[in-house]
Amino acid sequence: MTVIRGATTITQDTPEEIRAVVAELLEQIVSRNALKRDEVLSIVFSSTSDIHSFYPAKAAREAGFASCSLFSAQEPEIDGGLALCIRVMVFVEKNIVPHHVYLRGARILRKDLAQKYNIAIDGPAGSGKSTVAKLLANDCHILYLDTGAMYRACALAAMRAGTDVSDEVQVCELMRDLSLSVVYRDGVQHTMLGDEDVSHLLRSPEVSMAASTISRHPSVRMKMVEKQREIAGKMSCVLDGRDIGTFVLPDADFKFFLTATPEVRARRRYEEMLAKGEQVDFETLKQEIAARDEQDSTRSLAPLKKADDAVLIDTSDMTVDQVLDTIKRKMQEKI
Ligand code: DC
């Protein structure tokens, strides 16, 4: 007999989520251990004491584990323990080397089993990549690295210093002494110039355009790319940008390229800015996005481009949830 261990987490205590994560966990256990469902003798679940809405055992029954015996128990409340966690022991008849499966927030319980992985999401402005990248990182409990913010911070530093962002020599000089770093507080990225957190100063149209211009200089790109590779080399993360799949991490485990029609992308940015209370003219914004597209995709070093092995998703007629579901499905298919 073999016993396979596993665990997963939910974000909300609802029957729907319990059904979904239990089905996903059991499916992964079965597929990673090359099992047939009728080889499973019994499944024992334990869930943390903050879960009340549904029996994981019932979710297993609904997921098609019809003939084995099932049992759910509640764990004691332990200070500092993982919240909303469902653990499982799957007993199977044959003797195999077990592949234990830890998913979602439970990955941190078994760091030895969790592999580091990177997800590259590239695409033009307004394609929805940052919204989706943030949600995906949250869902996978990994870091989100907004590489655009790094180029924006370079642009801000140049604007403050009176540097002409299109002048290679001036920009190169600026980059030599630029102290730019990315720190995380409560999982949120803060982009720093020296000791100053400039994250809230990076979204203006002027900074956007200057970022696009400054990012074409090799002195800027190589410095930023080095930092991006260093972060991605240390931990699992979702990176969004223009050149992640082609240049920064050509060996990223998962690659996506999001796009949308220029009209839709401009509309999204327009609504985003209106919601923030910023006055903006739609036509001007559309022109600015077109100018950035042109500049980002025609520069000689690491231009905006879909990697050959990236999954292309046209988000023009999709909701954020639909894009997220498509990405997660594609990742699942690849695992
Ligand atoms: O993603 P964003 O709109 O915040 O990016 C701002 C500019 O930075 C973008 O117009 C081009 C540049 N950029 C880049 O060249 N490479 C990246 N990986 C990310 C952004």
The answer to whether the CB of 245 is under 6 A from ligand 1 is no
> pLDDT tens for residues 74-115?
999 888 788 999 999 999 998 888 999 999 889 877 767 767
User: Which long-range contacts link 56-64 to residues 24+ away (Cβ below 8 Å)?
Assistant: 56/18, 56/22, 56/86, 56/88, 59/18, 59/19, 59/22, 59/23, 60/22, 60/26, 62/19, 62/23, 63/19, 63/22, 63/23, 63/26, 63/27, 64/37
What residue's CA is closest to ligand 1, atom 16? Answer: 242
Atom of ligand 1 minimally distant from the CA of 215: 15
Using DSSP's 3-state secondary structure scheme, residue 1 falls into coil
The answer to whether the CB of 242 is under 6 A from ligand 1 is yes
Q: How many residues does the chain have?
A: 335
The predicted pLDDT at position 139 comes to 83
What residue's CA is closest to ligand 1, atom 9? Answer: 212
The answer to whether the CB of 292 is under 6 A from ligand 1 is yes
Q: Closest Cα to residue 35, out of 22, 46, 26, 48? A: 26
The predicted pLDDT at position 275 comes to 92
Q: What is the pTM of this model?
A: 0.73
Q: Say how far apart CA 62 and CA 109 lie, in whole Å.
A: 27
The answer to whether the CB of 48 is under 6 A from ligand 1 is no
Let me know: does 101 contact 25? Beta carbons within 8 Å: yes
pLDDT reading at 42 higher than 90:
yes
More confident residue, 21 or 116: 21
Banded pLDDT at 333 (limits 50, 70, 90): confident
**259-271: b (≥16 Cβ within 10 Å) or e:** bbebebbbbbbbe
Banded pLDDT at 137 (limits 50, 70, 90): very high
Amino acid at 55: Y
The predicted pLDDT at position 26 comes to 96
Atom of ligand 1 minimally distant from the CA of 292: 10
What does the DSSP assignment read for 90-102?
EEESS------EE
The predicted pLDDT at position 88 comes to 98
* Percent helix, strand and coil across the chain, each to the nearest 5: 45, 20, 35
Banded pLDDT at 119 (limits 50, 70, 90): very high
The predicted pLDDT at position 187 comes to 82
Q: Say how far apart CA 209 and CA 332 lie, in whole Å.
A: 37
The predicted pLDDT at position 64 comes to 94
Q: What is the Å distance from ligand 1's center to 235 Cα? A: 22
Q: Which residues pair with 102 in a beta bridge?
A: 7
Highest mean pLDDT among 103-112, 132-141, 180-189, 192-201: 192-201
